[in-house]
Structure 1
Amino acid sequence: MQFTETKLKGAFIIDLAERFDQRGFFARTFCAKEFAEHGLKPTVAQCNLSFNYKKGTLRGMHYQMVPVTETKLVRCVQGAIYDVIVDMRPNSPTYLSHIGVELTAENRRALYVPDMFAHGYQTLTAGAEVIYQVGEFYAPGHERGLRYNDPAFDIEWPLPVSEISAKDATWPFLFESVFVGV
């Protein structure tokens, strides 16, 4: 695997190191030892799969609070998505900064999302399928989210939103959440 750290410390784009022969190729998609060598949390508590009917579907922006913060390794295995993460670590020099990465079945790229990063994505194709390896168990009482169109982040989503859950459409704006104890 090839690990490339983004401008958000601890967040990595992970590309495959493909080994080709007459049959095709082989590549490792996860190795706890290599993750640990790059300072990444190698724990996988859950693996999740999401399938999205429509192009323009938006999921996010989700994260979990202490003591059950979660890392994610996100990969698009069918179609394409625009994946966005926001640094929610209050003591980080990149606090509230974000990046967006295109993950596709063709580029086979993954994004490692550190603890205390809000995460969401928009589908660039109909039928997009996304696999997440998650470093902590889902804990509904510690779940938080941010509004995908919060002006505090000014995220430029590539498409108009065609589908979004009621929950994701109504997460508080950042400065609202400060006042309601989120």
Structure 2
Amino acid sequence: MKFITTPIEGVAILELEERSDDRGFFARSFCRQEFLDHGLLPAVEQCNISFNHAAGTLRGMHYQIDPAPEAKLVRCTRGAIQDIIVDLRPGSPTRFQHVAVELSAENRRSFYVPPYFAHGYLTLTDGAEVTYQVSQAYTPGVERGLRWNDPDLALPWARDVAEISDKDASWTLLADGAVGETLT
């Protein structure tokens, strides 16, 4: 695996190192020790799959607070998505800054999302499927979210949003007290 650093500490984009032959290729997509060597949390408690019917579907911006903050490893296995994360770590010099990346079945990239980051994605194709390896089990009482179109975040979505859940459309704005809880 190739670990590509980003401007925000602790966030990484991973590319496969393919070993090809006449049959196709083989590549490692996760290695606990390599994650540790790069300072990333390698715990996997739960794996999830999300299927999205239409391009323009937005899911997010989700995060979990204590006692169950999540790290995620996200990969698009069918179609393409734009994935965006926002740093919510108290005291972080990059707090409220974001990283955006395109993940697709074609580029086979994955995106490491550390704990205390809001995460969301927008489908760029019909039939996009996304897999997540997550470090904590989903815990409804500690789930939180940011509004996807919060003007204080100015997230650079690649296209118009055509489909979003009522819950995701109604998360609180930063100006109205989103992220009011202590995260650490």
- Using the size of structure 1 for normalisation, the TM-score is 0.97
- Pair 179,126 (structure 1): closer, same or farther in 2 beyond 3 Å: closer
- Pair 54,174 (structure 1): closer, same or farther in 2 beyond 3 Å: same
SS in 2 for 1:40: coil
- Structure 1: distance between partners of 2:34 and 2:121: 26
Q: 2:31 is matched with which residue?
A: 31
- Structure 2: distance between partners of 1:83 and 1:63: 14
Q: 1:90 is matched with which residue?
A: 90
Partner letter of residue 48 of structure 1? N
Alignment of 1:139 with 2:146, yes or no, is no
Could you give the per-residue CA deviations for residues 44-82 of structure 1, whole angstroms, max 9, x where no partner exists? 000000000010000000000012110000000000000
Alignment of 1:79 with 2:79, yes or no, is yes
Partner letter of residue 131 of structure 1? T
- Structure 1: distance between partners of 2:6 and 2:180: 32
Partner letter of residue 93 of structure 2? P
Q: Is the CA contact 2:71–2:135 (under 8 Å) kept in the aligned structure 1? A: yes
Q: 2:109 is matched with which residue?
A: 109
SS in 1 for 2:33: helix
- Structure 2: distance between partners of 1:42 and 1:156: 29
- Structure 2: distance between partners of 1:177 and 1:13: 30
SS in 2 for 1:141: helix
Q: Is the CA contact 2:146–2:178 (under 8 Å) kept in the aligned structure 1? A: no
Could you give the per-residue CA deviations for residues 100-158 of structure 1, whole angstroms, max 9, x where no partner exists? 10000000000000010000000000000000000011111110000000011101211
Q: 2:175 is matched with which residue?
A: 175
Partner letter of residue 116 of structure 2? M
Could you give the per-residue CA deviations for residues 13-50 of structure 1, whole angstroms, max 9, x where no partner exists? 00000000010000001011111111111100000000
SS in 1 for 2:147: coil
Q: How does 1:120-131 map to 2 (within 5 A)?
A: 120-131=120-131
Give the number of aligned pairs. Answer: 182
Partner letter of residue 136 of structure 1? Q
Q: Which runs of 5+ in 1 are unaligned?
A: none
Query: Identity, % of aligned pairs?
Result: 58
Aligned-residue RMSD, C-alpha = 1.3
Cα drift, residue 175 of structure 1: 2.1
Partner letter of residue 168 of structure 1? D
Partner letter of residue 112 of structure 1? Y
Q: 2:60 is matched with which residue?
A: 60
- Structure 2: distance between partners of 1:4 and 1:168: 29
